[in-house]
Amino acid sequence: MYRPPQMYVTTDAVTVRWSPQEGLCVLLIRRANPPYEGYWALPGGFVEEDEDLADACARELEEETGVRPELTVQMGAWGKPGRDPRGRNVSVAYLAVARPDVGRARAGSDAANAEWHPAAALPLLAFDHADMVGAGLDRLRALAGETHLVFALLPERFGLDELRNVLAQVGSNEDAAALIGRADVEEGPSAGAGQASHYGCTAGEFLAPLRRV
């Protein structure tokens, strides 16, 4: 009888957030255990036998960093032989988007540290996580032009200049005003005389198109 080779399944999360002070950042952990002990890496870990992939990604992300993202989008699988010294390991990677007010990351589980790093200046990463980050940022750029995902990077109320800033840092050529028009985002009152109008929308409104991604 044929016996399939033993393989492990893990998830990894390319978690991003934007803030006016720090710009676009990626959440990383410093590994506390071998392999790659002491290296920076993406939050992730092994999938339990009775666990869905998306649930495993959310669990590992919260256990290792304390962060709960606004949304996650599966972006592919990495399974090149030898990518993990512990054995044959296939990782399903997710793009996770967090709000600016998500707060500081805190290390937990088997992470020695957890920090947000500028996307343009990341440290050397363990495993093939640099490839995952590159793919995640490419996916973020593509979704910024095809969906309303960029709104998940903004606070609940935001200005047009903030949206333009996010689009520029993501690397999207999308026009902010056109995006607001297509999303049918409600314009709120100005914060004060002479100040720009702010916009607001609920998660259900701007994330609905992503349910099909």
Nearest to 165 by CA among 21, 16, 2, 8: 21
Phi, psi of 20 (to 5 degrees): -60, -30
Q: Which of 40-54, 141-155, 192-206 has the highest mean pLDDT?
A: 40-54
pLDDT at 49: 92
pLDDT digits (tens, 9 = 90+) for 6-49: 889 999 999 999 988 899 999 999 999 999 999 999 999 999 99
> How many other CB atoms sit within 10 Å of the CB of residue 100?
18
Q: Which stretches of the chain are assigned E, i.e. beta strand?
A: 8-19, 23-31, 40-41, 44-46, 71-78, 89-97, 111-118, 157-159, 186-190, 197-200
pTM of the model: 0.87
- Is 68:102 a contact under the CB 8 Å cutoff? yes
pLDDT at 84: 93
* Contacts for 193 with CB less than 8 Å, ≥ 6 apart: none
pLDDT digits (tens, 9 = 90+) for 49-74: 999 999 999 999 999 999 999 889 99
Phi, psi of 171 (to 5 degrees): 95, 20
pLDDT above 90 as % of the chain? 58
